[in-house]
Structure 1
Amino acid sequence: MHRVDRLHPRPTTQPFSARALPSDDLAHFVMSTHDRGDSPAAWPYTGTAQLNLPAHIVARWAPGGSVVEHLDTEHCRLTLGAWSWAGIAGILATFDTELTNLHPPELVHACRRLTHRWATIADTENLDPSHK
């Protein structure tokens, strides 16, 4: 374990040159990059679901690159991506709320597969007396 108060930083002795800004309008550059929250990040799989939670709650915990759309005071739509349909389903499960209007159908199937896997785990745990 290293203690911060015992670290002795050393200069790298490697000079670097400042890069030119990518745009004269830095605010526009930042707003046009990925992962800013108003368009989904580029993932192999992207899906949407309506959550029974206010948008401000979901926006606080949604992964970067997700888009949260306010529907009313108690509901929002979340668009997010992951490396698999099961990945999206797992992220949606972390919100611990009712989900409706899932799209595309592949996301619905992934949710069903995960539900089956989790039910199998629960059944196995109940049968094994050593897991008490």
Structure 2
Amino acid sequence: RLRPRTPTGPTFTPRPLPAADAQTFLAARAKGSTTEDRWPCTGEVDLDLPAREVMPWVGDGEVVPLSDGSCRLTVGSWSWTGVLAAVARFDAPFTVVGPEALREAAGMLAQRFSAAHSSS
């Protein structure tokens, strides 16, 4: 037999959120932060694909058409390698616009891929 308890349990003192509101806090946590709804690493690339082919797949990124066959993609991730992985999934030529940390990560990744390719 069950008997309801009144009140329904112990009370607690709510603590303040580290972000401005609950939505921002939850979005920030998904991106590895507690206070801001933004990725720790955000980079820009020029992608050799039309913007209309890229837009459906970028999530919270941004796509700006540059010409009929190219666009600028701004995308974020937890790491610079993650940014490059997000770009590489389009399987199209691209040029890193910035920042410098993204260029450095692209160079490091190029060396890794080259070493993996030459060792086979």
Normalized against structure 2, the TM-score is what?
Answer: 0.65
Q: CA RMSD in A?
A: 1.5
The separation in 1 between residues aligned to 2:114 and 2:54, in whole angstroms, is 26
Give the letter aligned to residue 87 of structure 1: G
The separation in 2 between residues aligned to 1:44 and 1:74, in whole angstroms, is 30
Q: Tell me the residue number matched to 1:8.
A: none
Tell whether the 8 Å contact from 2:96 to 2:103 is kept in structure 1 after alignment.
Answer: no
Matched, 1:122 2:110: no
The separation in 2 between residues aligned to 1:118 and 1:90, in whole angstroms, is 13
Candidates 78, 90, 95, aligned match of 1:83: 78
Please give the per-residue CA displacement for 1:14-64, whole angstroms capped at 9, x wherever unaligned: xxxxxxxxxxxxxxxxxxxx7xxxxxx6100100011111001111222x1
Q: 1:101 to 1:110 in 2, by over 3 A?
A: closer
Which runs of 5 or more residues in structure 2 are unaligned? Answer: 1-26, 28-36
Which runs of 5 or more residues in structure 1 are unaligned? Answer: 1-33, 35-40, 126-132
Runs of 4+ in 1 over 6 A off after TM superposition: none
Identity of aligned residues (%): 36
Normalized against structure 1, the TM-score is what?
Answer: 0.60
Q: Tell me the residue number matched to 1:43.
A: 39
